[in-house]
């Protein structure tokens, strides 16, 4: 049996699900960043907030990813995450509004807020702002 030459990358979020045929993937694991190429040994990893990237030929795309898991198989990578957004999808005004709402929720009286929801909103917004600041840096 020959090794695969491409990976099928499937990304699933609460809002979207899509797949791409790629040459390699880089993901922010909770134990550190890791890369995957066709034929990789199978494993399962939790993801931290950070930048994921994938390469298709000479083109590399970068996405902001937060809170999720990755399943790696020799011929595919499945990412299930709360957030996975590209810089093209980023809306700075929406992110700033999200930051304001998250800060407002976190400053409320403790019994009136959902801390986990506020934390996720804040992480998502911070990641979006970081992705936007790197948009023109050659990614």
35-75 tens-digit pLDDT: 999 999 999 999 998 999 999 999 999 998 988 999 999 99
pLDDT band at 17 (very low <50, low <70, confident <90, very high): very high
| Per-residue pLDDT at 125 | 77
Q: Report yes or no: 82 and 88 within 8 Å, Cβ to Cβ.
A: no
Helix (H, G, I), strand (E, B) or coil at 79: strand
Q: Report yes or no: 68 and 104 within 8 Å, Cβ to Cβ.
A: no
- Looking at the whole model, is its pTM more than 0.85? no
Indicate the average pLDDT of the chain: 84
Q: What percent of the chain has pLDDT over 70?
A: 81
Contacts of 77 (CB under 8 A, 6+ apart): 7, 8, 9, 10, 25, 27, 36, 70, 71
pLDDT band at 116 (very low <50, low <70, confident <90, very high): confident
| Per-residue pLDDT at 68 | 93
């Amino acid at each position: 049996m020959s090794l695969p030459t491409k990976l099928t990358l499937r990304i699933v979020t609460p809002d979207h699900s899509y797949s791409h045929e790629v040459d390699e993937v880089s993901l922010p694991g909770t134990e550190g960043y890791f890369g995957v190429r066709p034929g990789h040994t199978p494993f399962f990893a939790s993801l931290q907030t950070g930048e994921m990237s994938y390469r298709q030929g000479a083109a590399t795309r970068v996405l902001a990813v937060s809170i999720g898991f990755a399943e790696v198989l020799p011929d595919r990578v499945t990412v299930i995450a709360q957030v996975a957004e590209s810089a093209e999808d980023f809306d700075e005004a929406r992110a700033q509004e999200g930051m304001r709402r998250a800060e407002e929720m976190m400053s409320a009286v403790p019994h009136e807020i959902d801390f986990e929801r506020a934390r996720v909103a804040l992480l998502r917004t911070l990641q979006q702002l970081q992705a936007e600041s790197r948009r023109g840096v050659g990614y």
